[in-house]
């Protein structure tokens, strides 16, 4: 039996940051190297874009359907963000996955992350940033989802959101994707080693016998042969 028994329950990891930081890309790559994570799919009232798939990228619902979920207390967190679209995290399956030992990742906006922080003390908060504001501008133009006015609005919002990074536990700059993925994975791994995850410390009779033997030998200043 190991001396230390740690909690089986998984960690709740919240990842957020300004637009075009590459949060979803990091998580997709992370899932390839860490099979113990489960990425929660958020719910949104915004229209589907490009090649997005319902139930994979988001659960796409109408504004009325989202508001019904709020009334029914089905959302762990939610917020109205860009152009008054709703985004939020359904409660379904999250507790089940955590209890089964999976590390659950929520890729959510900053408003939602701060809601989680008020509710769940043990959650881990990671803020992801693009290297520069110029990178954000280029990525907005490249993806081509918004018109000029909408891109300017997202750019302004990004400036405001960066000021919230001090409320997070970690910050990762997504300059080289592979490096950013490895950093996030290292954060998750290191959190498993926290002392507050220890459930109990166990010393067997054999280990106590060895301890007493070593102490006895040391007190007599004799050479110890193990």
Q: pLDDT digit string (tens) for 87-106? A: 999 998 899 999 999 999 99
Q: Which of 106, 37, 31 is nearest to 75 (CA)?
A: 106
How are the residues of the chain apportioned to helix, strand and coil, as percentages rounded to the nearest 5? Answer: 45, 20, 35
Q: Is the pTM of this model over 0.85?
A: no
Please report, for the chain, the start and end positions of each structural domain, with discontinuous segments joined by +.
Answer: 4-40+102-219, 41-92
Out of 3.40.50.300, 3.30.63.10, 3.40.50.2300, 3.30.1490.20, the CATH code matching 41-92 is 3.30.63.10
Out of 3.10.129.10, 3.30.70.1450, 3.40.50.300, 2.102.10.10, the CATH code matching 4-40+102-219 is 3.40.50.300
Q: What is the pLDDT of residues 35-87, one digit of tens each?
A: 999 999 999 999 998 889 999 999 999 999 999 999 999 999 998 876 789 99
């Amino acid at each position: 039996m190991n001396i230390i028994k740690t909690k089986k329950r998984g960690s709740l990891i919240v990842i957020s940051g300004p637009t075009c930081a590459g949060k979803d890309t990091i998580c997709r790559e992370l899932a390839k190297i860490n099979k113990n994570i489960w990425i929660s799919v958020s719910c949104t009232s915004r229209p589907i874009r490009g090649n997005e798939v319902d139930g994979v990228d988001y659960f796409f619902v109408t504004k009325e359907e989202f508001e019904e979920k709020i009334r029914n207390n089905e959302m762990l967190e939610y917020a109205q963000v860009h152009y008054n679209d709703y985004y939020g995290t359904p409660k379904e399956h999250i507790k089940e996955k955590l209890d089964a030992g999976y590390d659950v990742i929520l890729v959510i906006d900053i408003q939602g992350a701060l809601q989680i922080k008020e509710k769940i003390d043990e959650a881990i908060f990671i803020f992801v940033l693009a290297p520069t504001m110029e990178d954000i501008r280029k990525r907005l133009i490249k993806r081509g989802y918004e018109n000029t006015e909408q891109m300017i609005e997202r750019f302004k919002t990004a400036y405001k959101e960066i000021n919230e990074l001090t409320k997070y536990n970690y910050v990762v700059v997504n300059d080289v994707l592979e490096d950013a993925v490895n950093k996030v994975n290292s954060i998750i791994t290191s959190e498993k080693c926290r002392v507050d995850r220890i459930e109990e410390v166990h010393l067997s009779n054999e280990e106590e016998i060895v301890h007493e033997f070593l102490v006895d030998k040391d007190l007599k200043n004799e050479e110890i042969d193990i």
